Structure formats: structure tokens, C-alpha cells
């Protein structure tokens, strides 16, 4: 049907006050229309809507099962959990899958034992749905251990669901998840990487060095103090800016101020977004003007690249009160450092003109020209 037709039907449902019209709309081909009809019918009829909703629960479009289940729960319908658990043994896999999703949406722990039987279902989708439902309902290590069996399931999306379930159900899941850190499927490794801080060190290091950049990014974003050394190397050496940026965010969230020393090399990063993440992390770690003070320490570094990067970083922090400390760089032996001072002058000085006049007589022609151009532009305003 045309989009306009579905839109008109949706509006009609939203405005309807006829229970029969709403019940008829529960069979509409558009999921959005059905979703609106479910909500409207439950609102108007309350418990009287139970029969119509329950009749369609296990045969509805799978994307709507949770909507039907939640509506039945909201109106206090009886016997829904029992009907769903009974359907777990249905010959039709679609009804078994709908039943699993139903008990997961209802959140009734009485269904846990029934769900555990579906971990051995012949259909991968049912096994994955059972894992997700158990992750919501289960509350014991024994359930988590049962779910861990599926970390070696032949189907990748089942293994992904198993990682989620084990991570949620087991108090210290690292040892069990470690076996999936080298899974052949990158999406499985990606899911494991979200829990890298709790993994044994060899598994954590493997994920932080994974050949897939999204896995490395997820691992860097979830790492902890135990992975500080690996994060410091990734921040400097990883070829992917997204990974380096994730390292900066993670380091900035650590409570140890000494981590600032690990972050400092990132101010030289070639990617502007990474440099911005490093500065944000430094501000988060050191608070107040601590980041500016730490950057000023780098102004005496032997490496001119670091001094230049520190000037630009201080300019991005807009720390005008640090201008006097930077003035000594007007005589820095490296012309690129002096150029950085010119390019950053307006962010660092309330009155940059004296510094510009001084640098307009610089021995380096590039520095002289930049200072003269700055003075020329300033004179036009």
C-alpha cells in the first residue's frame, strides 16, 4: 500500500474511540498502525481488551510481540505467562520465538526454567532470543553458566547473545568470556571487547591489538587501569584516529592524575578530533587550570614538535593568563615554534601587538612575514 494510505490509517487509529475499529486495526499490514492500535485499545478498554490482544500475541509480526506483551501486562491480563510458556514447545518456530520474546518482555522470573530449555532449540533465532530473555530475567551464576555453553554455538549471532547474557548474569565473567576474545567473527569479538576491563590480561591485550579497528576502538573505550600501558601505546601508535580518540576518552575518565603524563603525547596527534579529545581528557583529569599548568611544563621540552604542540593546545584552552609564560618562546630556536606563537596570539594575549612587533624583526623570513601580516590585518580593524 502507498505510504499515504498507511499515514491516513495511522491518524484514524490515533483519533478513534471505537473498540471494534481498533480491534480490526490490530491486523493492519503496517506495524506502526498496529502499534498505535495496541496502545489506543489498551487505553480505552483496559482489561476488556485482553482477549483481542492475547489472541494475536503469538502470531503477530515479531517486531510487535513486545508491544502486545507490554500492553497485556499494563492492563493486568491474567494467564499470559502461562500461555507463552506453553507455546515454547510449539512445532512452529515463529510461535516459539514469539513466546520467548513474550516472557522476556513480561519479566516474570517464573519463566526462567522454561527459557533454559530453549537454549537447545533447533532454531538459532530462538536460542539467541532465549539468551536475551535470560539476561533480563536470570539472577544466578548457574543460569550464566548455562548460557556460557553457547559461547561456542556454530551461529555467530547466538554467540553474540551468549556474550551479552554471560556478561550480565555472571558476577565476574572475564574468565568465561576470555574464550571468545579470539572468535573468528569480528562482531563476536566486538561484543567481548565491551567487557575488556574484566578479561584476563592476554585476552584483553589481544582485543586491544585486534586487526579490526572497530574491535580495537570498543576495547579501548572499555579498558581500565590494568590496560594503561596498552592504552598509552595505542594513543601514540594506532593508525586509526577513532581508536586513538577512544583511548583519550578512556584515559580522561580515570581518577589518577598521573595519567596526564600518558595523555600528553596526544597533543601532537595529526588528527584534530584526537587532539581535542586529549585536551578534554586533560581538563577532566586535572580540573581548573591544571591542564594549562601541565601544558606549560611542555614549553621547555627538548623536542620543538612538543613545544609547538603545547602552544596550540594552550590556545585551544584559551588561557590568556598564560601569555607571559609563553612570551619567552619569541626567542625559541625553532622558527615553527615562533610561528605557532603568532598563529595563536589572539587566543593567548589580550594585547598581542608588542609581541608581533618584536617578531616582525625576526631573523627567519617566514616568521617576519607572518608577524607583519598579522600587524597589517590588525591595522585595518
Evaluate whether 131 touches 165 at the Cβ level (below 8 Å).
yes
- Residues of the chain with pLDDT > 90, as a percent, come to 85
Candidates 1.25.10.10, 3.40.50.300, 1.20.1300.10, 3.90.1150.10; correct CATH number of 288-381? 1.25.10.10
**pTM metric for this prediction:** 0.86
d(CA 97, CA 62): 8
pLDDT of residue 141: 62
State the pLDDT at residue 62. Answer: 93
Q: What is the pLDDT of residues 56-72, one digit of tens each?
A: 999 999 999 999 999 99
Domain borders along the chain are 1-78, 288-381
Confidence of residue 2 (pLDDT cuts 50, 70, 90): very low
Write the secondary structure of the chain as one string of H (helix), E (strand) and C (coil): CCHHHHHHHHHHHHHCCCHHHHHHHCCCCCHHHHHHHHHHHHHHHHHHHHHHHHHHHCCCCHHHHHHHHHHHHHCCCCCHHHHHHHHCCCCCHHHHHHHHHHHHHHCCHHHHHHHHHHHHCCCHHHHHHHHHHHHHHCCCHHHHHHHHHHHHCCCHHHHHHHHHHHHHHCCCCHHHHHHHCCCCCHHHHHHHHCCHHHCCHHHHHHHHCCCCHHHHHHHHHHCCHHHHHHHHHHHHHCCCHHHHHHHHHHHHCCCCHHHHHHHHHHHHCCCHHHHHHHHHHHHHHHCCCHHHHHHHHHHHCCCHHHHHHHHHHHHHCCCHHHHHHHHHHHHCCCHHHHHHHHHCHHHHCCCCHHHHHHHCCCCCHHHHHHHHHHHHHHHCC
Round to whole Å and give the CA distance between 38 and 142: 37
Average pLDDT over residues 326-330: 89
Question: Once rounded to an integer, what is the mean pLDDT over residues 352-379?
Answer: 94
| Average pLDDT of the residues in 101-115 | 90
Q: So what's the pLDDT on residue 380?
A: 58
Position 305 pLDDT exceeds 90: yes
The per-residue pLDDT for 318 is 79
pLDDT per position as a tens digit, 162-176: 999 999 999 899 999
At 96 the pLDDT is 96
How long, in residues, is the chain?
381
**What gap in Å lies between CA 371 and CA 365, rounded to an integer?**
10
Residue with cell 581508536: 243
Region 272-289 average pLDDT: 94
Residues 181-222: pLDDT tens digits? Answer: 999 999 999 999 999 999 999 999 999 999 999 999 999 999
Average pLDDT along the chain:
93
Nearest to 166 by CA among 206, 201, 194: 194
Averaged pLDDT, 129-143: 85
Amino acid at each position: 500500500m502507498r505510504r499515504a494510505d498507511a499515514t491516513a490509517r495511522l491518524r484514524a487509529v490515533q483519533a478513534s474511540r471505537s473498540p471494534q475499529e481498533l480491534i480490526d486495526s490490530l491486523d493492519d499490514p503496517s506495524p506502526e498502525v498496529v502499534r498505535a492500535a495496541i496502545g489506543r485499545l489498551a487505553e480505552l478498554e483496559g482489561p476488556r481488551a485482553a482477549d483481542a490482544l492475547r489472541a494475536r500475541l503469538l502470531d503477530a509480526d515479531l517486531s510487535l510481540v513486545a508491544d502486545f506483551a507490554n500492553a497485556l501486562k499494563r492492563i493486568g491480563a491474567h494467564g499470559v505467562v502461562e500461555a507463552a510458556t506453553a507455546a515454547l514447545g510449539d512445532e512452529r518456530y515463529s510461535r516459539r520465538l514469539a513466546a520467548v520474546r513474550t516472557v522476556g518482555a513480561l519479566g516474570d522470573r517464573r519463566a526462567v526454567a522454561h527459557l533454559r530449555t530453549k537454549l537447545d532449540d533447533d532454531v538459532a533465532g530462538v536460542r539467541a532470543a532465549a539468551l536475551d530473555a535470560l539476561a533480563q530475567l536470570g539472577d544466578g551464576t548457574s543460569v550464566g553458566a548455562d548460557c556460557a555453553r553457547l559461547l561456542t554455538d556454530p551461529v555467530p549471532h547466538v554467540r553474540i547473545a551468549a556474550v551479552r547474557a554471560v556478561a550480565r548474569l555472571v558476577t565476574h565473567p572475564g574468565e568465561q568470556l576470555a574464550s571468545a576474545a579470539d572468535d573468528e567473527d569480528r562482531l563476536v569479538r566486538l561484543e567481548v571487547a565491551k567487557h575488556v576491563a574484566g578479561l584476563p590480561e592476554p585476552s584483553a591485550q589481544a582485543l586491544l591489538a585486534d586487526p579490526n579497528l572497530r574491535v580495537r576502538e570498543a576495547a579501548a573505550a572499555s579498558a581500565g587501569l590494568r590496560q594503561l600501558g596498552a592504552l598509552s601505546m595505542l594513543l601514540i601508535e594506532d593508525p586509526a584516529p577513532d581508536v586513538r580518540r577512544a583511548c583519550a576518552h578512556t584515559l580522561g575518565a580515570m581518577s589518577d592524575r598521573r595519567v596526564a603524563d600518558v595523555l600528553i603525547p596526544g597533543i601532537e596527534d595529526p588528527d584534530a578530533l584526537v587532539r581535542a579529545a586529549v585536551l578534554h581528557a586533560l581538563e577532566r583529569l586535572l580540573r581548573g587550570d591544571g591542564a594549562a599548568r601541565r601544558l606549560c611544563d611542555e614549553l621547555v621540552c627538548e623536542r620543538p614538535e612538543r613545544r609547538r604542540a603545547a602552544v596550540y593546545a594552550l590556545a585551544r584552552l584559551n588561557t590568556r593568563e598564560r601569555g607571559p609564560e609563553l612570551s619567552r618562546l619569541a626567542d625559541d630556536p625553532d622558527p615553527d615554534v615562533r610561528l605557532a606563537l603568532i598563529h595563536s596570539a589572539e587566543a593567548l594575549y589580550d594585547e598581542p601587538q608588542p609581541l608581533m612587533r618584536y617578531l616582525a624583526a625576526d631573523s627567519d623570513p617566514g616568521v617576519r612575514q607572518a608577524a607583519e601580516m598579522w600587524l597589517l590585518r590588525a591595522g585595518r580593524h
